[in-house]
Structure 1
Amino acid sequence: FSSEFGIRFFLLKSPDKTLRTMKIWTKDCDKHVRRLASEGSRPRLPWAMQLPAFIDDPTPVLELLELLKDDKEEYVRRSVANNLNDIAKDHPERVADTAETWMLGASNERKKLIRHACRTLLKQGNTRVLQVFAYNPPHLTQVNIQIETPEVMFGTALQFGMSISSNAKHAQPLMIDYVIHHQKANGKTSPKVFKWSVKTLAANETLKLSKKHMIKKISTRTYYQGLHTLEIMVNGVSVGKVDFQLLIT
């Protein structure tokens, strides 16, 4: 029992006193207590009451996370990353500031924490966060997107591939995502970003990738028959779109 739900009553009623205690917890010898200092202060902890004061101003939470960012336990650092990801939903620039600062002289463990903390901002193509990981606008001479299944039956896979060629004189770190613009009941579309691959593209190199994306019944989405669009993003930049039809019988 980790108490991240119970501590929230104290944070709501006596935030200053509780935060002083939680700051002491960041130095506790027990990893569960140290994790509680982070997990219990998450502004938008799923399935728990929100902490409106920290949603408005995350400064007190960021002060706790600063003390935990290099914790020896992955279990604790993972909570720190999830807490920052919560904060990013309301204060993306504050998290970008934190990522830039923490990346200076960062260990591999801290770099992993920062990447996980910035996962939402990376998906959104936040320019500052992309630059933290050296994901600059790509230098490409050719982008070819091929859809092998232009008509997809519901319950089967969308199959597609891509080839890209570099015209840079140096290697380029690439974060490659794909976006499916799903048809909605009103005829409009709604985009959903999916992670695809992280690669380093050498100077003048050509990279080929392929992917199968299952389109089947899930609890979080209702699918509608009709025109959908596949979009490819490289380092947060759209490099092409191709349409496909979803068929539902």
Structure 2
Amino acid sequence: MGAMNELIDRSTVLSLAGLLREADGTRTWDAVEESAERVDGLQLRARSDLVAEAMLSDESSYDELSTAVRRALRLPAFTGWMIWPVTEAVTTAALRGFSSDSHQALVRFDDGLRLLAELTPRLTAEFAIRRFLAADLDRALANILPWTRSPDEHVRRLASEGTRPFLPWAVRVASLTSSPEKAVPILDALRTDPSEYVRRSVANHLNDLSRQSPALVAQTAGRWLAEPDANTAWVVRHGLRTLIKKADPAALALMGFSDATLRVSPIALADETVTLPGSLDFSLTVTNEGDAATRLAIDYVVSYVKNSGALAEKVFKLSAKDLQPGETVGLRKRHAIHQMTTRVHYPGTHLIELQINGRRYSRRAFEVEIPSPVSSG
């Protein structure tokens, strides 16, 4: 994360202050310049917040800030990571004292979202719009839906990405997670988008929905598959990836993975003990013993030993195969096992097994050993 923190460094903030002065000479923007001396040592988010607060201390109203920012948008150099604190400052100013009973507050709300759409081609505003969604979900979505018709792919992607229920690094929006169906019209409008950048966001949004609304995801994917374009199969497959790993029957059926008559060999391990850092090399064969061709979603499941001694499963994608009656396919995989910040490994007996179209086969145990640190003395 250290290198990421430097995305907003002293020089970035000084550049921002200079551009704001160039765009709007009515104020000095001294607080922004002074904040450049205080970003060192902070995490990236904290740096953005510090600079955003400095921008707000230099302005007296949303109208003045938005005017300055729009003037800055005329400058090509007004781009990159300096935009993150700008989007946060715009959001704070637009939502200050927000009330749905105040006409002026609603005007600021709507214009604030428009300004974020103008900023997002310079750097995504996907985090900033979360506070608009939290303040008034229905009004925010009514503003966001027309973005799906924007000629700019960054704005169209913002509509999908910013409304994801579980957007990484972003604050959760309770009203959005409790009513995930409200953002589906945005996905419907973008699922055939000409930009892969946008379609990938749609698929990730659909996959987010599967964490709490699998029936909604299956229904939505089914509608799309009924009227497909050249990219629908990929969007649906990527959007259903978590449900496929969870062996959700509706998702499996949508992708053509039905129950099959199979013969699965025992998993063969190259070594029954893995010393970290290392890998588990395994192989096996799968034979279609049925009378018809079958499509197989082939995954493997590793049960890791936790610190408590209990086991925790994680499903990994292995392959997708179409097998004719009597056909056999050989499968081979090297599964790396090493310490990571997102997964700490512990010694003990682990398990590996195959999962095909939601059914489990051929469980094997293997040992994980962690060498003791070598003493420097």
Q: Shorter-chain TM-score: what band?
A: over 0.9
Q: Name the amino acid aligned to 1:221.
A: R
SS at match of 1:213: strand
Q: How does 1:210-225 map to 2 (within 5 A)?
A: 210-225=332-347
Partner of 1:194: 316
Q: How does 1:1-249 map to 2 (within 5 A)?
A: 1-249=123-371
Q: Name the amino acid aligned to 1:89.
A: R
In structure 1, distance between residues paired with 2:264 and 2:299: 17
SS at match of 2:282: strand
In structure 2, distance between residues paired with 1:142 and 1:151: 23
The alpha carbon displacement at 1:142 in A equals 4.3
Q: Name the amino acid aligned to 2:186.
A: L
Residues 179-227 of structure 1: CA distance to partner in whole angstroms, max 9, x if unpaired?
1111122221111111111111121011111111111121111111111
Contact 2:298 2:317 survives alignment (8 Å): yes
The alpha carbon displacement at 1:81 in A equals 0.9
The alpha carbon displacement at 1:65 in A equals 1.1
The alpha carbon displacement at 1:84 in A equals 1.2
Contact 2:163 2:183 survives alignment (8 Å): yes
TM-score, scaled relative to structure 1: 0.96
Contact 1:144 1:164 survives alignment (8 Å): no
In structure 1, distance between residues paired with 2:139 and 2:333: 52
Q: Name the amino acid aligned to 1:163.
A: T
TM-score, scaled relative to structure 2: 0.64
In structure 2, distance between residues paired with 1:229 and 1:8: 41
The structure whose Rg is larger is 2
Higher helix content, 1 or 2: 2
Contact 1:125 1:236 survives alignment (8 Å): yes
Q: Name the amino acid aligned to 1:14.
A: D
Which runs of at least 4 in structure 1 moved beyond 6 Å after TM superposition? none
Instruction: List runs of 5+ in structure 2 lacking aligned partners.
Output: 1-122, 372-377
Residues 103-125 of structure 1: CA distance to partner in whole angstroms, max 9, x if unpaired?
11312301111111111111111
Contact 2:270 2:281 survives alignment (8 Å): yes
RCO higher in 1 or 2 (8 Å CA, sep ≥ 6)?
1
Q: Name the amino acid aligned to 2:271.
A: T
SS at match of 2:185: helix
SS at match of 2:251: helix
In structure 1, distance between residues paired with 2:236 and 2:286: 28
Instruction: List runs of 5+ in structure 1 lacking aligned partners.
Output: none
The alpha carbon displacement at 1:138 in A equals 2.2
